[in-house]
Structure 1
Amino acid sequence: MSNEYLKLAIKHAQAGDWDLAHKIVQVRDDSIACWIHAVLHKIEGDESNSRYWYASSKNQYEDFTDSGEELNAISQQLERND
């Protein structure tokens, strides 16, 4: 699955479609997909599940207080990786 799917997951998350964003990322296990997955659970308010996915992503729960800014940072990283 290409990074385009991860970019699509971010767009859906930013638009408030948590379920579709979650469906996209839950089939991947690379670090960026895990990072997006972590942010989605942070948005949902499920801190323990979010922290699990942060550990898999090698990022930290506390790195961002604003989930929108964090999704933008992930999007920028995906652009650099293309």
Structure 2
Amino acid sequence: MARQRYIVTGKVQGVGFRYWTHHTAFSLGLHGWVRNRPDGSVEIVAEGDLGSLRQFEKELWQGPVSSRVADVIPCDTNLQEELTEFSMQ
């Protein structure tokens, strides 16, 4: 299992991005969470097999129709929490 944290910037709040992310992660069998950040970006932690994470990152660049993704920034994560589902925070 691999774990990755992402920061997604652009027009990603108020456009259903978290719901879309939840659906996309679930369809790829990933566990983790997604949340809005005060600066207007969205933060995601996802865990699963490496191939699914790579596909997930590609999907993040597309986002839902009403979004405009400017950047998807993969970040290191040292979170140790157990992830058993994909949730919206």
TM-score under structure 1 length normalisation:
0.26
Tell which structure's C-alpha radius of gyration is larger. 2
Structure number with the higher strand fraction is 2
Structure number with the higher helix fraction is 1
TM-score under structure 2 length normalisation:
0.25
Tell me which of the two structures has the higher relative contact order, counting C-alpha pairs closer than 8 angstroms and 6 or more residues apart.
Answer: 2
